[in-house]
């Protein structure tokens, strides 16, 4: 009861703050209008992203608010990051308290928050023995690649090959992008890692010719995100586990986007009871504060020695305290059941639309993809004008990954706006 009262008080405090002017810009910046901010963005920031002409100033729950006081339903949660929505009272409380105490100390000293979240996360996986914390999903996959490379070379010095899958996305650092399928992300940085081979997701028959005694690492997303929201099948993941075992290859699950409750299970692979040797996570774990990490088996963790890898910010007290709040909120049967129920509701509603331009509706929990027979850009633009924001996964697939706290009324709003957007095609 006390926890609920505290959360209610924090919600009220947040609402009082957000009821003020939303037109404030960066303090002491001299920027006074939205148009000026957008113009200066183009002048000073490397244009690696196509930015929509909306300036968000704050959020509350599943809603985002722009500088001109417009309200938007958030159906992408910062690319599957804001699992508990915006301005969640428990996160506010923890972060506000922690910044008054200790933000950073570095990896050479203990702090009081790294071990509690480490224990929670290791205990949540049957295969895991230890954990390494970093800052992003790309860093997590990079670390996992190094761990498995070192372990594999101890089996045989030439055991260095990597298998990934078409449609994959594993990050933008050199190792991670080497394992990412989309040529646009890789070709301008070649030569990349020379030993990466891409197989076909869910092609069981191909695995025996793809994985051999020189394979060190096999990396797969149990649900591909950027590649069109494509789930791996139970048959495929099971076969992958067996073939890896037969060839002493290490199986790496990239759950950066699909893990931590997004699928309706704490970890996406747990639906099938198939265990990896190493698992990469990031996105939602610290509520939007950068944090990632790698869960590893006892066999892999025993290979790594002091100095083999490192981090400056990973495992810091601020991120770890926020992560403890997020993990405890997500890792309950009630919360995960809610995700499953909402996911089933919206998936069925999308399928019931039976629009001729809908090719497929797929995914698990609240990570769903709607493939269209036409480009989705006009759908995204129409929805944004109507106050609903979601994103794409490739040119022809709408990706739906809202905050996991979303409820049926908001889902019905999304469905109605999506239906109206389809009618314009």
Considering only CA atoms, which of 229, 223, 286 is closest in space to residue 255? 223
Nearest to 203 by CA among 158, 160, 237, 249: 237
| Partners of residue 328 on adjacent β-strands | none
Domains of the chain (ranges, CATH numbers): 17-75 (3.90.1150.10), 95-330 (3.40.640.10)
Residues 139-167, mean pLDDT to the nearest whole number: 98
pLDDT at 5: 44
What are 229-233's contacts with CB under 8 Å, separation 24+? 229/362, 229/363, 229/367, 229/368, 229/369, 229/393, 229/397, 229/399, 230/167, 230/201, 230/362, 230/369, 231/362, 231/363, 231/364, 232/201, 232/202, 233/202
> Among 33-42, 149-158, 323-332, where is mean pLDDT lowest?
33-42
If one compares 239 and 23, the residue with the highest pLDDT of the two is 239
pLDDT at 383 over 50: yes
Most confidently predicted of 12-26, 39-53, 311-325: 311-325
Taking 60 as the threshold, does the pLDDT of residue 25 lie above it? Answer: no
C-alpha to C-alpha distances, 212 to 6, 186, 240, 247, 281, nearest whole angstrom = 56, 25, 12, 6, 27
Listed residue (383, 79, 331, 409) closest to 229, CA to CA: 79
Q: Residue 26: pLDDT band by 50, 70, 90 thresholds?
A: low
State yes or no: cis peptide before 191, omega within 30 of 0. yes
Query: What is the residue-wise DSSP string for 213-277?
Result: TTEEEEEE-SEESTTTSEEPPHHHHHHHHHHHHHTTPEEEEE-TTTTTTTTSSSSGGGGTT---S
Three-state SS at 103: coil
More confident residue, 31 or 359: 359
From first CA to last CA, the distance across the chain in angstroms is: 50
Pairing of strands 215-220, 161-165: parallel
User: Percent of the chain scored above 90 by pLDDT?
Assistant: 90
Asked whether residue 334 carries a pLDDT value surpassing 90, the answer given is yes
pLDDT tier at 31, thresholds 50, 70, 90: confident
Prediction pTM value: 0.93
The DSSP bridge partners found for residue 279 are 253, 295
Mean pLDDT of 347-357: 97
pLDDT above 60: residue 299: yes
């Amino acid at each position: 009861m006390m926890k609920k009262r505290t959360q209610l008080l924090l919600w009220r405090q947040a609402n009082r703050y957000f009821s003020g002017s939303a037109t404030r810009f960066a303090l002491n910046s001299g920027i006074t209008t939205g148009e000026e901010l957008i113009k200066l963005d183009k002048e000073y920031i490397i244009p690696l992203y196509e930015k929509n002409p909306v300036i968000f100033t704050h959020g509350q729950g599943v809603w985002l608010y722009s500088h001109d006081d417009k309200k938007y339903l958030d159906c992408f949660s910062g690319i599957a990051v804001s699992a508990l929505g915006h301005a969640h009272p428990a996160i506010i409380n923890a972060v506000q308290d922690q910044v008054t105490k200790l933000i950073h100390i570095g990896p050479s000293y203990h702090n009081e928050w790294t071990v509690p979240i480490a224990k929670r996360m290791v205990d949540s996986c049957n295969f895991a023995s230890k954990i390494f914390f970093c800052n992003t999903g790309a860093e997590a996959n990079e670390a996992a690649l190094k761990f498995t490379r070192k372990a594999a070379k101890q089996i045989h010095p030439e055991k260095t090959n990597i298998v990934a899958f078409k449609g994959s996305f594993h990050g933008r650092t050199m190792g991670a992008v080497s394992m990412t399928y989309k040529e646009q992300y890789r070709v301008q940085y070649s030569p990349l890692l020379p030993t990466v081979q891409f197989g076909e997701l869910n092609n069981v028959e191909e695995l025996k010719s793809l994985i051999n005694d020189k394979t060190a690492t096999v990396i797969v997303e149990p649900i591909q995100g950027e590649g069109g929201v494509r789930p791996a099948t139970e048959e495929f993941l099971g076969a992958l586990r067996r073939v890896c075992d037969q060839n002493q290859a290490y199986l790496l699950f990239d759950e950066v986007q699909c893990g931590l409750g997004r699928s309706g299970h704490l970890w996406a692979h747990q639906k099938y009871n198939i265990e990896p040797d190493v698992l990469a996570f990031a996105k939602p774990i610290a509520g939007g504060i950068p944090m990632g990490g790698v869960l590893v088996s006892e066999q892999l963790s025993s290979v790594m020695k002091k100095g083999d890898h490192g981090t400056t910010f990973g495992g810091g007290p601020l991120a770890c305290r926020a992560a403890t709040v997020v993990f405890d909120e997500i890792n309950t049967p009630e919360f995960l059941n809610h995700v499953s129920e909402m996911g089933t509701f919206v998936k069925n509603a999308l399928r019931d639309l039976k629009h001729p331009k809908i090719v497929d509706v797929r995914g698990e929990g609240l990570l769903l993809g709607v493939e269209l027979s036409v480009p989705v850009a006009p759908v995204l633009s129409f929805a944004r004008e109507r106050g609903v924001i979601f994103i794409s996964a490739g040119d022809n697939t709408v990706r739906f990954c809202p905050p996991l706290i979303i409820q049926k009324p908001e889902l019905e709003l999304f469905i109605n706006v999506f239906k109206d957007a389809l009618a314009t095609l």
